[in-house]
Amino acid sequence: MNDLLGRKITYLRLSVIDRCNLRCFYCMPKGGIEAVAHKDILRFEEISRLVRLLAEEIGITKIRLTGGEPLIRRNVLELIRQLGEIEGLRDLVLTTNGLLLGKMAGDLAQAGISRVNVSLDTLRPDRFREICRGGELEPVLEGIRAAKDAGLHPVKINVVLLKGINDDEVGDFIGFAAEEEIEVRFIEFMKIGHAVAHWDENFLPANQVADEMEKKFKLASLPASRTTVKLYKIEGSNGKVGFISSASGDLCEKCNRLRLTSEGLLRPCLMSDSDLDARKLLRSGASDGEIVAAIQNLVSTKGKPACYETSRNMSRIGG
């Protein structure tokens, strides 16, 4: 199905839980945020039913599981297996902070995950604890290698560019990508939730960093799917590096996604205030046809957001 701007909607970002086992300073307050009550989180059978309708009637072919931290959702492997059985889904991927990836990579691959993105903003153990307010770096690095060994290719690392915090590690990450033969993507800091308070101080344009790295490293430009992305192959390696202008560029240009929060709110846009309470429909006895009609109505109104800032925390929306 196409949206208001004629973009074909094929991609769902599915938050399976709002909780996380880290407290990254730009994602949530130090004390955390109030968790969604267990009874209010979508059950596996509800998620599977909704995804089946999205695949059959809207044309969703790709799902990315997010959180919070999706791997802390109890029995998440069973959910992945259920989703993997839905006809029409061709790509089932995962974004994780990597802390549990080392233990679960093999099982994730067997359950149906095809590839993973790991959120990692530093390669320094002390800085990791500072940014994440706890946790250890080494399990994340072990998780990245376990994902490679399990065949979850290509493994991608998402690095949020933070001026004055990790901008001195861009070269280190490029070296890491070359050594591990993975893809590292530097993503601009966005005005979302708790991050709004830090944005002016820590925002750094991705294009500026890309231009600097072109002078320091042998990078061969590659075709990119969006004008907001600069993608390179690291010469002498199978590693790749990308720079994503998620805040300064027109991220909406080719947006083909919907977002489903852990409590069942289906949103047409990261920054949108409009949503569909899918949980209410699922639990009130609505028929498949009624649910599909409501989703179609939501998709038909998906345009460009009125602004590029939201007070909702990313852990609640789904990263």
CB 83 within 8 A of CB 92: yes
Q: Whole-angstrom Cα distance, residue 165 to residue 122? A: 9
Q: Is 145 exposed, middle or buried (0-12, 13-18, 19+ CB in 10 A)?
A: middle
Phi, psi of 233, rounded to the nearest 5 degrees: -95, 135
Spatial distance between the Cα atoms of 266 and 297, rounded to a whole number of angstroms: 12
In the DSSP assignment, the letter for residue 236 is T
What residue type is assigned to position 213 of the chain?
M
Among the residue ranges 25-29, 142-146, 209-213, the one predicted with the least confidence is 25-29
Q: Facing residues of 192 across strands?
A: 310
Confidence of residue 312 (pLDDT cuts 50, 70, 90): low
The one-letter amino acid at 55: A
Instruction: Count the Cβ atoms, other than its own, within 10 Å of residue 138.
Output: 10
**pLDDT above 60: residue 164:** yes
Q: Which residues of 86-102 are buried (b: 16+ CB within 10 A; e: fewer)?
A: beebeebbbbbbbbbbb
Token output for 85: 């059985």
Over the stretch 8-20, which tens digit does the pLDDT of each residue have?
A: 999 999 999 999 9
pLDDT at 319 over 60: no
Q: Spell out the domains of the chain, with CATH numbers in brackets.
A: 11-316 (3.20.20.70)
How many degrees, rounded to 5, is the angle at CA 188 between CA 198 and CA 314? 65
DSSP code string of 115-152: EEEEE---S-HHHHHHHHTS--HHHHHHHHHHHHHTT-
CB 60 within 8 A of CB 50: no
Q: Is the pLDDT assigned to residue 304 strictly greater than 90? A: no
Instruction: Express each pLDDT in 91-109 by its tens digit.
Output: 999 999 999 999 999 999 9
pLDDT at 171: 98
Handedness of CA 21, 26, 32, 33 (dihedral sign): negative
